[in-house]
Structure 1
Amino acid sequence: MTKPNTDAGMPIALTLEPGTYFRCVCGGSKNLPFCDGNHRGGELPIRFEIKERRKVYLCSCGNTGKQPFCDQTCGVELPVD
């Protein structure tokens, strides 16, 4: 994410099925947090794969070093599942 949203608070918690996903980073998608192909400013989505059904936490602040996943760089505590 090039424009961090530090007001976002918690990461986005989702349970995803196996497959390939594209995380929107430009904010132009009508299907957030996923890309719908409407790229603003030339920013391309982050492609990631899920191998088995699982809960993920997608970064909403843009400061993580493990895009698109939250690595708690912003200090947020992730719930224990």
Structure 2
Amino acid sequence: MATPEIGGTQPIITNVTQGETYWWCACGRSASQPFCDGSHSGTEFTPQSWQAPRTGKVAFCTCKRTANAPLCDGSHANIIQE
């Protein structure tokens, strides 16, 4: 299985609306982080749908290393940038 690219090193805090579906970028290539822009085309990655359980702010993962996709779990703190 391929490892996704790192789309960012900090989560992106986003206002979401209860019941709305959001398409999270799973490949790390999207220029519209944290959301999909179709850049996964030709890879084994597909965007992940996520429906907001309530209206408010959430922290979407951009490093693509979270165990709680699509939400940030702090995994970006373990990424060492060269």
- TM-score, normalised to structure 1, is 0.69
Distance apart, 1:74 and its partner CA: 2.8
Report the Cα distance in structure 2 between the residues aligned to 1:23 and 1:47, rounded to whole angstroms.
6
Residue 23 (structure 1) aligns with: 24
Give 1:1-81 correspondences, 5 Å limit.
2-5=3-6, 8-18=8-18, 19-26=20-27, 27=29, 29=30, 31-37=32-38, 39-40=40-41, 41-75=43-77
Report the Cα distance in structure 2 between the residues aligned to 1:3 and 1:55, rounded to whole angstroms.
25
Q: Gaps (5+ residues) in structure 1? A: 77-81
Matched residue of 1:75: which SS?
helix
Report the Cα distance in structure 1 between the residues aligned to 2:5 and 2:31, rounded to whole angstroms.
19
1:24-52: per-residue Cα shift (whole Å, max 9, x none)? 2232x564432345642142111111022
Q: Give the paired residue count.
A: 74
CA distance 1:36–1:62, shift in 2 (3 Å): closer
- TM-score, normalised to structure 2, is 0.68
User: What percentage of aligned pairs have identical amino acids?
Assistant: 31
The amino acid that maps onto 1:13 is I
Report the Cα distance in structure 2 between the residues aligned to 1:63 and 1:32, rounded to whole angstroms.
14
1:59-78: per-residue Cα shift (whole Å, max 9, x none)? 111111000100012328xx
The amino acid that maps onto 2:11 is P
Q: Gaps (5+ residues) in structure 2? A: none
What is the Cα-based RMSD across aligned positions, in Å? 2.6
